[in-house]
Amino acid sequence: MSEAKGVLYVVGIGPGAHDHATPAATRAIADAELIVGYTTYVKLVADLIRGKEIVRTGMTEEIGRARAAVERARAGARVALISSGDAGVYGMAGLVFQVLRDIGWKRGDSPELRIIPGVTALSSCASLMGAPLVHDFCAISLSDLLTPWPVIARRIEAAASADFVIGLYNPASGRRTRQIVEAHSIIGRYRQPTTPVALVKSAYRKLQHAVLTDLDHFLDYEIGMLTTVIVGSSNTFVFEGYMVTPRGYSNKYTSDGEILPGQRPGRSLVLEAAPDQAEVE
């Protein structure tokens, strides 16, 4: 008789509060025999994993966690490898695939792979501040532990020049303080000093702290590894203490929902032609 096929759940547990973990995530954790995760994240789900076997490791031990989870699941266990936020966004899912590729895993082999999405840090932080991500945005990690700083700086430059709302992950740490200062300098070449900026630490956890400030002043506040920085676009505004990036409805509709002259519902936005261009046409 063939050995039992293991299951590897790669689970995004959300920002930390159980109210923001998906039912699928809690079901996966409940079904697992073994929980593998970073010590801090294991503590966030402590009441969900009582009586289960637990493998917990510290910061920078991600490869070991991924290998332990894959090996135990390959041997037939039901394993939940947990990440905060979404495991596929700066999380453990990528490492799992690297390990699976290294061992020559194929679809249909043990373990069966189930990736469970979660609420990302950026979306959870945004919800506390209003609606800063309603139009085009990007996420950039400032950690240069695995990515060279010149590559990161080039990405910041591109995002700032293209007027994206920018979410900055891993902005600073005790030994890494230069990067957020340089990021501020790069973004400042393209944004007004009054551009809204949100600083959110530990969203939906016990030490949650949120500040709404602007580009000219956000470096005056404490920023660490648990902080997510959201820098507005040229259109982002502050309303009643909330940070809002409009989707662009005012380009096509009045406040009463009437279509503006020259525009058509369900059709591409029509830009007003410059006078010299109109004459040529």
CATH number of the domain bearing residue 103: 3.40.1010.10
CA distances from 33 to 72, 118, 187, 189 (A): 10, 21, 47, 52
Could you tell me if residue 265 is inside a domain? no
Say yes or no: 109 and 138 in one domain. no
The tens digit of pLDDT for each residue in 151-189 reads 999 999 999 999 999 999 999 988 889 999 999 999 999
Query: Is residue 275 over pLDDT 70?
Result: no
Could you tell me if residue 184 is inside a domain? yes
Residue 155 confidence (pLDDT): 98
Binned at pLDDT 50, 70 and 90, residue 276 comes out as low
Could you tell me if residue 128 is inside a domain? yes
Q: What is the mean pLDDT of residues 66-81?
A: 96
d(CA 259, CA 242): 27
Structural domain boundaries enclosing 56 = 7-119
Which of 99, 119, 139 marks a domain boundary?
Answer: 119
The tens digit of pLDDT for each residue in 6-47 reads 999 999 999 988 899 999 999 999 999 999 999 999 999 998
Query: Is residue 257 over pLDDT 90?
Result: no
Say yes or no: 17 and 72 in one domain. yes
* Single pTM value for the model: 0.89
Check residues 246 and 280 and name the one with the higher pLDDT.
Answer: 246
Q: Picking from 45-49, 67-71, 198-202, 241-245, which range would have the lowest pLDDT averaged per residue? A: 45-49
Binned at pLDDT 50, 70 and 90, residue 277 comes out as very low
Say yes or no: 115 and 138 in one domain. no
Say yes or no: 38 and 51 in one domain. yes
Could you tell me if residue 203 is inside a domain? yes
Q: Residue 104 — left, alpha, or beta (φ > 0 → left; ψ -120 to 50 → alpha)?
A: left
Could you tell me if residue 24 is inside a domain? yes
Check residues 281 and 130 and name the one with the higher pLDDT.
Answer: 130
Nearest to 71 by CA among 26, 29, 114, 36: 36
Which of 119, 153, 183 marks a domain boundary?
Answer: 119
d(CA 111, CA 193): 52
Could you tell me if residue 273 is inside a domain? no
CA distances from 208 to 17, 128, 200, 204 (A): 11, 10, 7, 6
Check residues 210 and 44 and name the one with the higher pLDDT.
Answer: 210
Share of the chain above pLDDT 70, in %: 96
- 20 CB-side CA count, 13 A: 20
Say yes or no: 148 and 219 in one domain. yes
Binned at pLDDT 50, 70 and 90, residue 272 comes out as confident
Q: Say which amino acid occupies 92.
A: M
Identify the CATH number of the domain in which residue 193 sits: 3.30.950.10
Query: Is residue 278 over pLDDT 50?
Result: no
Nearest to 126 by CA among 218, 40, 35, 198: 198
Say yes or no: 177 and 203 in one domain. yes
d(CA 275, CA 281): 10
Could you tell me if residue 278 is inside a domain? no
Residue 78 confidence (pLDDT): 97
Residue 141 confidence (pLDDT): 97
Nearest to 182 by CA among 226, 221, 139, 152: 152
Say yes or no: 128 and 239 in one domain. yes
The DSSP output letter for 54 is E
What residues pair up with 260 in beta bridges, in sequence order? none
Nearest to 143 by CA among 43, 230, 60: 60
Q: 262 Cβ partners below 8 Å, 6+ apart?
A: 270, 272
CA distances from 277 to 54, 76, 252, 271, 273 (A): 67, 68, 21, 12, 6
Residue 92 confidence (pLDDT): 95
Residue 274 confidence (pLDDT): 47
* Strands across the sheet containing 112-116: 53-57, 34-38, 78-83, 7-12, 112-116
Say yes or no: 229 and 126 in one domain. yes
Query: Is residue 253 over pLDDT 90?
Result: no
Radius of gyration (Cα) for the chain, nearest Å?
23
Residue 263 confidence (pLDDT): 83
Say yes or no: 96 and 146 in one domain. no
Binned at pLDDT 50, 70 and 90, residue 58 comes out as confident
The two three-digit tokens of residue 158, written as one number? 């591109």
Say yes or no: 223 and 135 in one domain. yes
Could you tell me if residue 212 is inside a domain? yes
Query: How many domains, the chain?
Result: 2
Say yes or no: 148 and 91 in one domain. no
Average pLDDT over the chain reads: 92
Say yes or no: 97 and 198 in one domain. no
